[in-house]
Amino acid sequence: MIPILSASLLFVPLALAEAPAPMVRALSAYEAPACQDIAALSPSPVEDLGWVVDHVSQPPWAPMTAAQCLLQLYPEETRPVAERWVVDPERAGLARLVFGELERLPPEVALPLARAALAGPHAPILERRLARSEDPTLRALVLPAP
């Protein structure tokens, strides 16, 4: 491992030599900047944030913050990869993050994500969340119509 000095003084793996270094440093900070500020660090923020989700494991909040920024700033572009997160048994943390964002996502993104997740391994978690949803369209996916 090659240490890279960041705001949090963490060690970053050698694989990050090809990484979007300013973005990784910003995401590694315990209190990361706003998503818009993180995205501004890259000429291709969707690709670079996706790279962070897939390749950065430490600190653990870095890939989660990157995923959250993808969902918040680029929901349409992120939908295909988010659909994989919600059905992958190894990505429970990312699935839960997606579930937490569903009500804030555009319906054309939220509904397909919820439907995919309801057919996946994290369905029981999502069913409980959707049953309490303020969004009637999302809630209707798990509760019968009155």
Domain that holds residue 53: 19-73
Number of helices and strands (H, E) in the chain?
A: 9, 2
58 part of a folded domain: yes
How does DSSP assign 45-74, residue by residue?
HHHHHHHHHHH--SSTHHHHHHHHHHHHH-
Total number of domains constituting the chain? 2
Query: What are the tens digits of pLDDT across the range 94-139?
Result: 999 999 999 999 999 999 999 999 999 999 999 999 999 999 999 9
7 part of a folded domain: no
Decide: pTM greater than 0.85: no
6 part of a folded domain: no
Instruction: Specify the range with the lowest mean pLDDT, choosing from 11-20, 38-47, 87-96, 136-145.
Output: 11-20
Single residue among 73, 89, 117 that ends a domain in this structure: 73
Task: For residue 117, give the H/E element and its range.
Answer: helix 107-118
- Give the N- to C-terminal CA distance of the chain in Å, as an integer: 58
* Cβ atoms 41, 22 nearer than 8 A: yes
